[in-house]
């Protein structure tokens, strides 16, 4: 495995290394196209905290951001769908 792939894997694992980020991924799977404000309504947390979690998810390429004027629409990226499908397998015996 080359360095680029290892770094990409590191970003993905860091992206899902927090229960709030996993909760945001699950939320976006159930309710696509949410603004940061809508995410904060459903997953109670401060604005800066929500911004940081979404930023890390976007860096890991698990969430996509689409700018619509002053609002930013967040959707689950294809990799985010794959990761959510694989997470339960990590805990199975």
Handedness of CA 28, 31, 32, 34 (dihedral sign): negative
pLDDT for res 93 = 59
Domain that holds residue 53: 3-91
pLDDT for res 56 = 95
Region of residue 84 (phi > 0: left; psi between -120 and 50: alpha; otherwise: beta): alpha
* pLDDT digit string (tens) for the chain, length 93 residues: 899 999 988 988 889 999 999 999 999 999 999 999 999 999 999 999 999 999 999 999 999 999 989 999 999 999 999 999 988 888 775
CATH for 72: 1.10.10.10
pTM: 0.90
pLDDT for res 65 = 96
Total count of domains within the chain: 1
């Amino acid at each position: 495995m080359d360095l680029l792939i290892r770094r990409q894997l590191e970003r993905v694992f860091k992206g899902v290394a927090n229960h709030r980020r996993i909760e945001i991924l699950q939320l976006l799977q159930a309710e696509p196209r949410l603004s940061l404000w809508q995410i904060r309504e459903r997953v109670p947390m401060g604005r800066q905290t929500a911004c940081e979690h979404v930023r890390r998810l976007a860096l890991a390429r698990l969430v996509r951001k689409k700018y619509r004027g002053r609002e930013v629409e967040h959707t689950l990226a294809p990799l985010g769908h794959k990761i959510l499908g694989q997470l339960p397998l990590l805990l199975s015996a």
